[in-house]
């Protein structure tokens, strides 16, 4: 396989990089029309539409009797796991929970010079819908990453939805749902599941917020229902960007690139290095290792379609490129990774040094693997406990404090021609 090579110092690099990063699948009119149709049908026909779309897309006979996974089935899935699988899920869950507890927002207040008490109240969301993909692969890790922070935040009702193609449950997904503490699990997926969570059906109660990654139809549906419910983010294809100074084993780097490329054909794997000979070595490693990959076809398509090697003049220039791309996953496979991390402005998650592959973050390091994609790390953050907590302002004025503030408030209100506001404030003035 011949990798695409870009040179950060070339005159056409900016244009070449823009082309590499372009992702416009959500502009596909047919996708938008399909999602609009699905959402409209769920709103008007409820379960009837939900089951019909599930039969159409997932090819099995779903009904009111079998759409909900009973708690006994979740528990049974957990008990049936091989010991090593149960231990791995348990360890991952414990580490995710431990990390999440450090993210808890806490209430605070202070008293100002007028004697007024001002502060912030923290309240967990009442209900959350968690989407877990189940098409090309099953993701028990996503179950843990989405549900555990919600539980730590104190969400009282967590509804999980996940497609079951051909009606076949994935035991590890169900076991993870049991371990994480899902309140209800439904065997539905796709845009129809997102619509059901947003608007409700006879079987599925509407939620306040929907989280979790999915395909382009799921992502588009989340965009469409935003406003009716909250969403975490609109996730695009998975991405990894690796900066390497040339001193890491090239086989390691090749496999790290594979780890994202195997997600799907639109995933993006990019390597940046100032060492041209190292880039050549990694290309050789790719060609040597690719034949042994179970998902060779997907990896190959991904690397050829959206993969790239970028030659830079220095690591400083590499960081400049990183801050333009704002990658979902950033590996700093370099000496003194702390130094270079301090220069990174935009990245979903940063993996430090030669011994921290992105794969550890996907499963059991502790930080959340639901991350901003497609450059959105410029303004958004990984999923966390704070996504499941609300902040309410607290304003408690004394008689004297209200009187002082009323004088200023009435002036500002009159400046906006809102005389009722001004009068409301003036009623609190002491004469």
Work out how many domains the chain is built from and give that number: 3
Residue 373 located in a structural domain: no
Give yes or no: residues 267 and 168 share one domain.
no
> What's the pLDDT at 29?
85
HSE-up of residue 394 (Cα within 13 Å, Cβ side): 16
pTM > 0.85: yes
Percentage of the chain lying above the pLDDT 70 cut:
98
Tokens coding 120: 């912030």
Let me know whether 152 and 260 are in one domain: no
d(CA 313, CA 341): 18
Give the pLDDT confidence of 76-114 residue by residue, as tens digits.
Answer: 999 999 999 999 999 999 999 999 999 999 999 999 999
Q: Is the pLDDT of residue 24 over 70?
A: no
Alpha carbons within 13 angstroms on the beta-carbon side of residue 107 total 12
Quick one: pLDDT band at residue 431, thresholds 50, 70, 90? confident
The one catalytic residue among 239, 262, 283, 329: 329
Tell whether 130 and 248 lie within a shared domain: no
| Domain C-terminal end among 321, 346, 365 | 365
* Confidence at residue 22, expressed as pLDDT on a 0 to 100 scale: 87
* Phi and psi torsions of 145, nearest 5°: -65, -30
pLDDT digits (tens, 9 = 90+) for 329-343: 999 999 999 999 999
- Same domain? 226 vs 263: no
- Distance CA(327)–CA(103), nearest Å, equals 22
Which tens digits make up the pLDDT trace of 113-167?
Answer: 999 999 999 999 999 999 999 866 678 999 999 999 999 999 999 999 999 999 9
Strands 389-396 and 117-124: antiparallel
Average confidence (pLDDT) over 189-193: 97
Determine how β-strand 268-273 pairs with β-strand 239-244.
parallel
Question: How many helices (H) and strands (E) in the chain?
Answer: 17, 15
Whether residue 282 has pLDDT greater than 80: yes
Cα–Cα nearest to 334, from 278, 377, 382, 280: 278
Name the band, by pLDDT with cuts 50, 70 and 90, for residue 28.
Answer: confident
Q: Are residues 195 and 240 in the same domain?
A: no
- Name the catalytic one among 328, 331, 346, 369: 328
Say yes or no to pLDDT of 187 above 70: yes
**Domain identity same for 319 and 180:** no
Active site (annotated) includes residue 48: no
- Identify the residue whose tokens are 């957990």: 78
Note the pLDDT of residue 135: 65
pLDDT-above-90 percentage for the chain:
94
- pLDDT band of residue 268 (cuts 50, 70, 90) is very high
d(CA 331, CA 253): 10
* Whether residue 79 is found in the same domain as residue 195: yes
**Mean pLDDT across the chain, nearest whole number?**
96
CATH assignment at residue 347: 3.40.50.1980
CA distance linking residue 397 with residue 281, whole number of Å: 68
pLDDT score for 26:
52
User: Do residues 9 and 276 touch, judged by C-beta distance below 8 A?
Assistant: no
Q: How many CB atoms lie within 10 A of CB 356?
A: 16
Expressed as residue numbers, the domain containing 267 is: 5-23+236-365
Query: CA-to-CA distance for 34 and 26, rounded, in angstroms?
Result: 12
What does the pLDDT average to over 60-70? 96
306-326: per-residue pLDDT in tens? 999 999 999 999 999 999 999
Give the residue from 365, 386, 406 where a domain finishes: 365
Residue 18 falls in the annotated catalytic set: no
């Amino acid at each position: 396989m011949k990798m695409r090579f870009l040179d950060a110092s070339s005159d056409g690099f900016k244009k070449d990089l823009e082309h590499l990063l372009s992702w416009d699948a959500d502009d596909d009119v047919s996708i938008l029309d399909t999602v609009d149709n699905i959402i409209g049908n769920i709103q008007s026909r409820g379960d009837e539409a939900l089951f019909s779309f599930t039969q159409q897309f997932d090819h099995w006979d779903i009904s009111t009797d079998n759409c909900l996974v009973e708690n006994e089935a979740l528990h049974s899935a957990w008990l049936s796991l091989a010991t090593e699988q149960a231990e791995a899920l348990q360890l991952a869950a414990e580490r995710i929970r431990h990390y999440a507890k450090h993210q808890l927002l806490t209430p605070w207040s202070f008293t100002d010079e007028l004697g007024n008490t001002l502060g912030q109240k923290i309240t967990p969301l009442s209900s959350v819908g968690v989407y877990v993909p189940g098409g090309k692969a099953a993701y028990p890790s996503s179950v843990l990453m989405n549900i555990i922070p919600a539980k730590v935040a104190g969400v009282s009702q967590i509804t999980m939805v996940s497609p079951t193609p051909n009606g076949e449950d994935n035991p590890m997904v169900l076991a993870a749902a049991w371990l994480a503490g899902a309140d209800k699990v439904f065997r539905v997926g796709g845009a129809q599941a997102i619509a059901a969570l947003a608007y409700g059906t006879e079987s599925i109660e509407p939620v306040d917020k929907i989280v979790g990654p999915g395909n382009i139809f799921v992502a588009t549906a989340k965009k469409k229902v935003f406003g009716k419910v909250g969403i975490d983010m609109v996730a695009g294809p998975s991405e990894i960007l690796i900066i390497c100074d040339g001193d890491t084993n090239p086989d390691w780097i090749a496999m790290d690139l594979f780890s994202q490329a195997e997600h799907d054909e639109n995933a993006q794997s990019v390597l940046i290095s100032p060492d041209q000979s190292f880039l050549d070595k990694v290309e050789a490693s790719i060609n040597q290792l690719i034949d042994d990959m179970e998902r060779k076809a997907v990896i190959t398509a991904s690397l050829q379609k959206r993969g790239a090697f970028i030659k830079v003049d220095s690591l400083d220039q590499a960081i400049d490129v990183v801050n333009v791309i704002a990658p979902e996953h950033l590996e700093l496979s370099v000496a003194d990774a702390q130094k270079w991390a301090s220069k990174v402005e935009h990245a979903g998650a940063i993996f430090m040094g030669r011994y921290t592959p992105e794969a550890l973050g996907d499963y059991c390091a502790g930080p959340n693997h639901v991350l901003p994609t497609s450059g959105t790390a410029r303004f958004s953050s990984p999923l966390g406990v704070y996504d499941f907590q609300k902040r309410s302002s607290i304003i408690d004025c004394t008689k004297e404090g209200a009187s002082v503030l009323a004088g200023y408030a009435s002036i500002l209100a009159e400046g906006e021609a809102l005389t009722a506001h001004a009068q409301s404030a003036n009623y609190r003035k002491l004469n």
